[in-house]
Structure formats: C-alpha cells, structure tokens
C-alpha cells in the first residue's frame, strides 16, 4: 500500500511461428510492460522485428475511422458505453458498412467546405459593396471612361477641389466615402489634394446595378448558403447519432490490431526466433507464465530475470480505491520510484483535511460539493474526473469543518464553534469570544511540526531503501540530524517562553550556566543535528533556516482560512447591513434599486470568495505537500507502468 506494486522481470524467447499467438495472449492479459529493444550496431547482433503483415491494412482503416470521428466530432473518451459489440460483428461491419459511411461523410464534408467557401465569397463581396451604398450611382457608371478619371475611396473629411470636377461625399458609412470624377489632365493634381486629406482608394466592385440591391442580393445568398450548411451539419449529426457506437467500437478494435501488429518493432529477432523482455506485476506473474506455455503448446522459453539495483522498474500504483484520485497529484509532481515509499495514501488523507481546515464553511462546502457532482457530466474520464473526486472529498471535509467552526457563508450557525472560533469582529458586533487567532495559528504550527517530523521519518526509511552501504547510513543520519535541529530549536523555545497549547518548560530549575535542562537538551540536539547534516554534505548547513520557514509556512492553514472568513463577512456586511436591511425598513423606489445592487454585491462577492476558496484551499494544501512535505523524503522520477494491451470498453471477443 505504501509501496508501488511489486514487479517481476520476464524474458520470453520463442520461434517466430508463435509470434502472433504470444502477442495476442500478452495483449489479452494487459499486464506486460515491454522493455523496448535497442539494437546494437555490431555485426551478428540481434535486430529489430518487422511488423506483422496486417499492420498496414489495420492502420489505414484506423485512419479512415479517425477521420470520420473527427468530421462528426466524436471523442471516444467521452462516449458512454451502452453495450459491448462482439468483435466478429464489428469486423464484418468494417468490411461492409465502413466504406459506405466513409463515402457519405466525405461527400457531406466536401460539399460543406465548398458551400462555406462560397458563403465567405458572398460575404466578402457584400463588405466591398458596403461603402458604395452611400452613393446614389449605379456601379456600371464608375468605369469605362476614356477622358475622365474616377477616384473612389475613404477620406477623413470633405475636400474642395480647384479644377472642374464632379464630386460626391458622404459620411453615412464607416470611414466616409468620396467619389470624384475629373478630366484626365487634372488627375495628378487632384490625387495630391485627396492624399493630403487622408484619401485611401478602394476598388469599385466588378458588378452592375444599384449597390444597395447588389449588397442585399449577396447577403441573401450568404444567408441561404448558411441554411444549406446547417442542413448538412444536421445530416452529419444524424450520422453521429446513428453510428457513434459502431465507430468507437471500430476505433478500439483497430487500435488494438495496430498495436498488436506493431509490437514486433519492440522485440529483438534472429532469423527464426524472437526475444522480448518486460515487467509483470508479481501477483499475476505465474498465471501469465502458465497461460503463455498453454497457448504455445510449450514452444516457448520463459525465464525470470533478477532485478538489478540500476533497473528502471516501471511503477504501478497500489492504493486502496479511495486514495486513487490522489495519484493524479503524485503524477503531477513526479511518479515515485520503484524502491521508495509511495505517499499517495497520506496525501489522500491529509489533503482534504488541510483543504477543510482552510475553507471550513458549510455554505461554500455545499457549493463546491454541488459543483464537483454537477461537473461530473463533462469529465467522464481522465485527470479531470480524478480532480473532481478529490474536490468532492475536500468539500465534504470542508462541510465537517464548517460545522465545527460554526460557519455558513460568513454567518454563524445556531451553535457556538465546537473547535476554535474564526468569527472575526467585522461590522462592530463581535461574537461571544471573537476569533481565537493565536490558538488557530499555534494548532497549525503543531500540524506543521508533526507533518515535517513524519516526512523526515519517511526520509530515513527511503534512504534505507534507495541507497546502499555508507551512503545509506549517511542519508539516514542526515535526516535524523534535521529532526534533531528542528526539535532542538522547539525545545529551546519551550524552555524560554510559555506558549499556549504547547508544553511549558520555562519553570524547570536552572542547572548549567543559568539554563534549564530543556534548554541544554535542545542545544545538544541542535549541535548534534548540525553535525549529522554536515557529515552528509556541508553545503546543506546553509539550508538550516528553512526548518523555521517550513514550520511557520503551515501557519497558512489558519491565515488563509481567516482571510477567506474576513472576505465573506465583509461581503455580508456591505451587502446586507449597509445596503439591503436599511432600505427594507422604509421601502422606496430608490431603495428597491439599492436592494438589487446589494443582492448583486452579495452574489458577486460570494462567487469571488468561492473561487478564492478553491484556489486558496486547493493550491495551499497541495503546496504544503509538494514543498514542505515531499522535499523531506521524496525523490520521484519513476517510470510509468504502461502495460501492453487495452481495457476494451466497446467491444468483446
């Protein structure tokens, strides 16, 4: 549970005639993590295998299926499984139905893109025509003159032209439009005048008739084509409706075919035989071995290889089901190495507690719970789903802490806080006790001390598992040294100051040089700890101040939570007490508006605070794990266990 699943290393050697059978059997079990074969260049060495003959057929069929899925907007990840189709039936349908569906989809997509191109063209024409609608002149009269030049374009303002001309200016369209007709000999002079006024020429569309009519015609055409496109989209949606189940089944079956057919590329081969190495989880190792012998009729050589210290063993998590969503947090950071402790279980327990301590509000907890349950529709699988489950657990714990703190969106529940109160004095009415800030901070420091102590102890266990000989002893001692320095400092503080909720050792009689025994023990631990740290690596000594900053960092459990309480209470105070209640007492027309504004402030404020609650609660809790907890023991960098095979969702043999 606290370690990744145990693995065994298997070598398979068999004649090439058994290749297909063995690949099928391994694929069916879906447990064999293949170690890719890397060929050497020396002569006579083993060479990489060739894909099975059906590889190219399966691959091209798969491309077709993926293309159809793409066109119809089907994502196999998000398709719900209705019934599993038998593989033989799917193969039959791939031969008969797939080409038909493909043709149909291709035609539809083809005509849709043609229509869309035409629609764009009409829209473009309409845009070009738009400026000319301001000029009461048919389009054919703009061109075809031998002795006159026509200027058309946008201009900043109307201009006076000091040669004989015909001119029309309009500011009814964006950018204004000016049309000037002059004799050819005045052309350059007029052009200069126009350019001085910011003239930008626009070409006259190659059409005839009144611009406004043409514009209308083009827009109507574009709208008509849009309708046709919508009809085609409807047909494509029909295909999706009808064939989704079949298409995802094809996708799955063909993906499996391709993966199987390409497996020999990861094997080593000689003329007549092939070799492959891989990893199988210990609990089914023997079962798979027996199955392989059975299907090949004994024409196979199997050998379990020793796991060497330098081997990168693939890491498969081995956690109880409630802890599985937290594996996502682990993968986000780094997967554990095979030999080290897998802290997923601890994260899955401690993360929701931290989150709940920070948020600790029945109202926000219920909102987040509803959110995490409601969003499940949109995340059917993958990391998003795991995140939602983590959020759900965290919000349940938030509700529990909300009951303990007696908080609901910044108001108090009908009972006094069962643990320390976070009811701040906002708006002038203090609750019975007011917030017990100091106590909350000290409790969170306590949590920090214990969490870090746990981390260091795990560090010692990991050092024993990961290293050997002298190095292991050094690493264990150094971890003990860090613990010694931390507890030494704590003991010395206790022996000098009386702190609420912490042991008070300041009353002890002085023994040496005016210091009491606790101070002396603390100092010894501190010095011994520093020596123990330095014996592994002298440079580590400069990291010692992080002990204090890491422990104090846990104060965020109280501090971030209090700031979220403060925001909630301030929002309530502004919205309810300053805006809504005074107006409700003597209602007036203006009062109703103020009440509505008050409601908006209330809603916006609490939405913002909910978002801050997720960020503050989630990020700070996970950060306490990543930065303060994991740095004490966790190495990470393990290889992901990626078995050869597939969980079939849509098909069955």
- Phi, psi of 177, rounded to the nearest 5 degrees: -140, 145
Q: How far is the CB of 425 from other proteins (least distance, A)?
A: 9
* Per CB under 8 A, 450 contacts other proteins: no
Q: How far is the CB of 357 from other proteins (least distance, A)?
A: 14
Judged by CB under 8 A, the chain residues 484 through 513 that form the site for other proteins are none
Q: How far is the CB of 180 from other proteins (least distance, A)?
A: 54
- For residues 615 to 634, the per-residue mask of contacts with other proteins, x marking binding by CB under 8 A and - elsewhere, is ----xx--x--xx-------
Which among 1, 44, 620 has a CA at the least distance from the CA of 319? Answer: 1
Provide CB contacts within 8 A for 530, sequence distance 6+.
481, 485, 541, 544
Rounded CA-CA distance 6/282 in Å is 6
Which tokens belong to 620?
A: 């700070």
* Per CB under 8 A, 467 contacts other proteins: no
Rounded CA-CA distance 45/132 in Å is 78
Q: How far is the CB of 555 from other proteins (least distance, A)?
A: 5
* Per CB under 8 A, 555 contacts other proteins: yes
* Per CB under 8 A, 115 contacts other proteins: no
Q: Concatenated DSSP letters for 561-630?
A: HHHHHHHHHHHHIIIIIIIIHHHHHS--HHHHHHHHHHHHHHHHHHHHHHHHHHIIIIIHHHHIIIIIIG
Which among 277, 298, 246, 281 has a CA at the least distance from the CA of 37? Answer: 277
Q: How far is the CB of 439 from other proteins (least distance, A)?
A: 10
* Per CB under 8 A, 611 contacts other proteins: no
Which among 215, 194, 197, 201 has a CA at the least distance from the CA of 152? Answer: 201
- Phi, psi of 339, rounded to the nearest 5 degrees: -85, -15
Which tokens belong to 94?
A: 């791939």
* Per CB under 8 A, 437 contacts other proteins: yes
* Per CB under 8 A, 441 contacts other proteins: yes
Cβ nearer to other proteins, comparing 437 with 523: 437
Q: How far is the CB of 68 from other proteins (least distance, A)?
A: 29
Q: Concatenated DSSP letters for 364-428?
A: HHHHHHHHHHHGGGT--SHHHHHHHHHHHHHHHHHHHHHHHHTEETTEEPSS--SSS------SS
Cβ nearer to other proteins, comparing 329 with 602: 329
Q: How far is the CB of 561 from other proteins (least distance, A)?
A: 11
Cβ nearer to other proteins, comparing 168 with 333: 333
Other Cβ atoms closer than 10 A to 498: 11
* Per CB under 8 A, 209 contacts other proteins: no
Rounded CA-CA distance 80/649 in Å is 9
* Per CB under 8 A, 333 contacts other proteins: yes
* Per CB under 8 A, 639 contacts other proteins: no
Among 170, 183, 334, 465, binds other proteins (CB under 8 A): 334
* Per CB under 8 A, 430 contacts other proteins: no
Among 370, 430, 510, 552, binds other proteins (CB under 8 A): 552
Which tokens belong to 621?
A: 């809790």
Size of the site for other proteins (CB under 8 A): 24
* Per CB under 8 A, 161 contacts other proteins: no
Residue 284 has what DSSP assignment?
G
Q: How many CA atoms lie within 13 A of 309 on its CB side?
A: 4
* Per CB under 8 A, 231 contacts other proteins: no
* Residue where the block lists tokens 């092939």: 274
- For residues 162 to 201, the per-residue mask of contacts with other proteins, x marking binding by CB under 8 A and - elsewhere, is ----------------------------------------
Q: How far is the CB of 644 from other proteins (least distance, A)?
A: 22
Q: How far is the CB of 608 from other proteins (least distance, A)?
A: 17
Other Cβ atoms closer than 10 A to 638: 23
Q: How far is the CB of 621 from other proteins (least distance, A)?
A: 12
Cβ nearer to other proteins, comparing 434 with 503: 434
Where does this chain touch other proteins (CB under 8 A) — which range of 125-133, 217-225, 360-368, 430-438? 430-438
Cβ nearer to other proteins, comparing 454 with 555: 555
* Per CB under 8 A, 312 contacts other proteins: no
CB 415 within 8 A of CB 362: no
Rounded CA-CA distance 150/135 in Å is 14
* Per CB under 8 A, 595 contacts other proteins: no
Reduced to 3 states (helix: H, G, I; strand: E, B; else coil), residue 300 is coil
Where does this chain touch other proteins (CB under 8 A) — which range of 127-135, 157-165, 338-346, 429-437? 429-437
Residues in touch with other proteins (CB under 8 A)? 332-334, 434-435, 437-438, 441, 549, 552-553, 555-556, 558-560, 562-563, 619-620, 623, 626-627, 636
């Amino acid at each position: 549970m606290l370690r990744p699943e145990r693995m065994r290393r298997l070598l398979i050697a068999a004649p090439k005639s058994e290749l297909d059978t063995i690949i099928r059997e391994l694929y069916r079990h879906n447990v064999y993590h293949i170690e890719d074969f890397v060929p050497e260049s020396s002569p006579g060495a083993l060479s990489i295998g060739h894909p099975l003959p059906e590889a190219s057929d399966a691959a091209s069929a798969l491309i077709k299926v993926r293309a159809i899925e793409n066109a119809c907007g089907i994502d196999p990840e998000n398709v719900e499984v209705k019934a599993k189709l038998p593989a033989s039936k799917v193969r039959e349908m791939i031969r008969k139905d797939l080409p038909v569906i493909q043709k149909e989809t291709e035609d539809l997509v083809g005509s849709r893109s043609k229509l869309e191109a035409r629609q764009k063209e009409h829209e473009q024409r309409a845009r070009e025509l738009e400026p000319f609608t301001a000029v009461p002149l048919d389009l054919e009269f703009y061109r075809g003159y031998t002795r006159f030049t026509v200027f058309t374009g946008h201009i900043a303002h109307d201009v006076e032209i000091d040669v004989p001309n015909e001119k029309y200016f309009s500011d009814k369209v964006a950018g204004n439009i000016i049309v000037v007709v002059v004799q050819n000999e005045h052309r350059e002079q007029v052009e200069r005048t126009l350019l001085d006024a910011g003239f930008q020429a626009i070409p006259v569309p190659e059409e005839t008739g009144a611009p406004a009519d043409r514009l209308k015609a083009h827009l109507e055409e574009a709208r008509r084509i849009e309708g046709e496109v919508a009809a085609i989209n409807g047909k494509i949606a029909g295909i999706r409706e009808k064939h989704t189940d079949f298409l995802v089944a094809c996708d799955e079956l063909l993906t499996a075919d391709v993966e199987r057919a390409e497996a020999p590329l990861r094997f080593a081969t000689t003329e007549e035989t092939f070799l492959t190495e891989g990893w199988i989880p210990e609990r089914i190792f023997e079962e798979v071995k027996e199955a392989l012998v059975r299907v090949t009729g004994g024409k196979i050589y199997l050998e379990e290889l020793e796991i060497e210290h330098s081997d990168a063993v693939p890491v498969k998590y081995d956690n109880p089901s409630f802890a599985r969503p937290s594996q996502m947090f682990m993968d986000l950071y780094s997967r554990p190495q095979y030999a080290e402790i897998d802290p997923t279980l601890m994260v899955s327990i401690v993360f929701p507690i931290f989150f709940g301590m920070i948020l600790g509000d029945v109202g926000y907890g219920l909102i987040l719970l509803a959110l995490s349950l409601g969003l499940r529709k949109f995340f059917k699988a993958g990391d998003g789903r795991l995140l939602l489950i983590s959020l759900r657990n965290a919000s349940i714990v938030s509700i529990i802490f909300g009951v303990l703190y007696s908080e609901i969106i910044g108001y108090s529940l009908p009972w006094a806080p069962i643990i320390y109160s976070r009811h701040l004095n906002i708006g002038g009415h203090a609750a019975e006790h007011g917030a017990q800030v100091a106590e909350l901070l000290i409790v969170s420091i306590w949590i920090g001390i214990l969490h870090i102590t746990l981390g260091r102890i795990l560090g010692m266990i990991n050092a024993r598992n990961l290293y050997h000989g002298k190095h292991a002893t050094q690493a264990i001692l150094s971890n003990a040294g860090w613990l010694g320095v931390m507890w030494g400092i704590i003991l010395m503080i206790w022996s000098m100051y009386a702190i609420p909720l912490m042991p008070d050792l300041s009353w002890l009689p002085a023994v040496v040089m005016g210091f009491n025994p606790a101070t002396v023990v603390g100092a010894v631990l501190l010095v011994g700890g520093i020596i123990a740290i330095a014996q592994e690596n002298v440079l580590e000594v400069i990291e010692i101040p992080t002990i204090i900053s890491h422990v104090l960092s846990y104060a965020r459990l109280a501090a971030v939570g209090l700031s979220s309480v403060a925001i909630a209470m301030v929002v309530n105070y502004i919205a309810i007490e300053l805006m809504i209640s005074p107006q409700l007492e003597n209602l007036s027309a203006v009062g109703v508006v103020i009440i509505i504004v008050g409601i908006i402030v209330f809603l916006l404020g609490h939405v913002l605070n909910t978002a801050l609650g997720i960020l503050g609660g989630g990020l700070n809790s996970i950060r306490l794990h990543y930065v303060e907890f994991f740095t004490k023991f966790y190495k990470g960098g393990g290889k992901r266990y990626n078995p050869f095979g597939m969980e079939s969702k849509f098909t069955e043999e």
